[in-house]
Structure formats: structure tokens, C-alpha cells
Structure 1
Amino acid sequence: MLRDYQPADADAIVRVALAAFAEFEQHYSDWLLFTAHVAKMPELSKTGEIIVAEDGGRIVGAVAYVGPQAPKPAFFDPSWPIIRMLVVDPATRGKGIGRQLTEECLRRAERDQSSVIALHTTPIMTVALPMYLRMGFAKVRDAPDILGVPYAVYVKSLG
């Protein structure tokens, strides 16, 4: 079940986010700094909409949808809505939760009458990146590395 984030969800989404990124520890040059940023995921609710996925009353995934014109990193076109921090609990992967969360972001971009939606990711994310490509996202440019890990911007046309 997908629903909108509530402040009481903060600890649970941080737990899921840290668990989701744990497998990538060896790739980042400063893991403590990286996880400090991951743990700030609830703050995305200030500029965007966090969507949570629940299974049996337990939060198993989350994503932030940041609408057009909302503040976002400079490597994105300011008019684009973006998907940030898609995280799924490793124990519940393979159930389509990441796809459901992404599709909800696409619905919100269409609600906002956007012609495109964007995200940034990295080739080390060997589950997420192929899913995005299957869903019609295409690389448009490189983004700044994050602690030694290469990232790129991907865009999907809507409508």
C-alpha cells in the first residue's frame, strides 16, 4: 500500500534508506558522510512529497517526488519534477515496490502537467538503473560524482 509520508514515519524511512544503501558502502569514499546525507531523507518533505510503501503495517520503501519549480540540485532543469531517494528494504526486494513508488511519482508529475520527469542514479545501482531504463528513462547527461561514485541524469517523457 502506498500513502503519503507523515512526520511519525521519519525513523522508519531512515532505517529503510540506510538498509537500502548498505550494499554500496565500499563504493563511496566517505561512507559516514554519505550515510549522514541518506539519514536526512525526511527533510525532503520540506520541498517535496515523500511517498511511503507499507506492507502489513510496516514501512518497506519510500521515495521523494519533488515537483516542478521546487528547489532541487542545480544539475536538474528547475522546471522538471524529479524523483529522489527511491529506497526499498532489502528484505522486501523483488516484489515490485520500487516500480510502484516510481509509477506514483510519474502520476504526480502528470498531475502537475509536466511533460517530463527526471532523476539521477549511478551504474552501481544494478537493480534500480535497469528498472528505470525499462520504464523509459534515458540518460541525458552526467551529473557530479558523489564521493567518488559516478552519477548521471535520466529523463522520461510523459504523455
Structure 2
Amino acid sequence: MDIVIRPAAPEEYETLGEITARAYLQDGLLDFGESDAYLGELKDVAKRAAAAQVLVAVADGALVGGVTFVPSGGPMADIAGPAEAEIRMLAVDREARGRGAGESLVRACVDRARATEGCVRVVLSTQRSMRSAHRIYERMGFVRTPERDWNPLPQLDGITLLTYRLTL
């Protein structure tokens, strides 16, 4: 499968939003299902694209996944500090998994981070159950940073996001 990574076009935002939301829902990553407030964030690709870089993976002419790359801080950063880029909302359509789209998207983010002046690290948050994503990150040299793990919903116990970093 030939995979092309490129910036998302506005006419692809809705499709990418659906792929991202469906991936999180199918994998059981949203605690409240269809009513989860984060679902709206996952679907709102236009909002992400206005504040960060949204990349898509296209395989055999079809959009199969995407990721949000936050070059340095800004409203889309969750955990990035000074001189750090952040990877967010990585998702690949279930039918296209296992063929390199996820790794290609992460690699494109790392390449962008290396091209960002002053950037020395790439950071990301992930859920415990995202084991296939963890394997990609670890294979690419990311290391766990348990001291940065955090809870995006402090009012709910038990939701701790794991963090990783890659030093460039």
C-alpha cells in the first residue's frame, strides 16, 4: 500500500473528523460513548487546522487517517512546554490498520518537529489501551515519561493519560 502524508484539505475535514471519531469510539477510548464532549473535539478538524497542522494519510487514493501536529505551544497543546512539539489525535481507519499509515503519520510529525527552529523534543499523550500506538512510538524511539502523566478530567478518577517523549 502506497501511503502519502500531506496537509489536510478543507474539503477533507468532515471525512477526517468521522474517521477520528469512529476510531476512538470503536476502540472504546471515549468513556461516555456518543455523548462524550471530546467526541466533538475529535470531529472538529476545522478548529484543529486553524490552531495547528492537520496531516492526513492517503492510501490508494482514499483518506485513511490523520494526526494533529502542534509545532510549539498554542491552543492545541496539552502537555508541550517550551521547545517541544506535540502530537495529538492520531487515528487510522480500522480497515487500513497494520499497513503503516499510523507510523507514517508519526514520522511526518517528527520530521516537522526537526524542521521547527528551536524544537528539541516531541511529546504526546495516549491512553493505556492504545497498545498498537505505544508499539509505534517505542519502535520510533519515544520513551515513557510517567512523571508527566495526567488526568484530562480531574473530576473523574481513573482517567490517566500516559505520556511519551522523543528527544530530537
TM-score (norm 1): 0.88
Alignment counterpart, residue 23 of structure 2, candidates 5, 20, 24: 20
- The total of aligned residue pairs comes to 157
2:120 corresponding residue in structure 1: 115
Partner of 2:149: 142
1:49 paired with 2:56, answer no
Identity of aligned residues (%): 26
Q: Which amino acid aligns with 1:30?
A: F
The aligned counterpart of 2:92 is: 88
Q: What is the aligned-residue RMSD (CA, Å)?
A: 1.9
Unaligned segments of structure 1, at least 5 residues: none
Query: Whose strand fraction is larger, Structure 1's or Structure 2's?
Result: 1
CA separation in 2, counterparts of 1:112 and 1:73?
Answer: 15
Checking the alignment, whether the CA contact within 8 Å between 1:139 and 1:152 is kept in structure 2 is yes
1:157 and 2:162 matched: no
SS of residue matched to 1:59: strand
> Are the aligned partners of 2:70 and 2:86 in contact in 1 as well (CA < 8 Å)?
yes
**Partner Cα distance (1:74, 1:19) in 2:** 22
**What code does the residue aligned with 2:151 have?**
P
Say which SS state the counterpart of residue 129 (structure 2) adopts: coil
* Counterparts of 1:71 and 1:151, CA distance in 2: 19
> How many angstroms does 1:96 deviate by?
0.6
- Is contact 1:82–1:118 with CA below 8 Å preserved after alignment? yes
Unaligned runs of 5+ in 2: none
- Indicate if the aligned counterparts of 1:20 and 1:90 stay in contact, CA closer than 8 A: yes
Is the Cα contact below 8 Å between 1:76 and 1:153 reproduced in 2? Answer: no
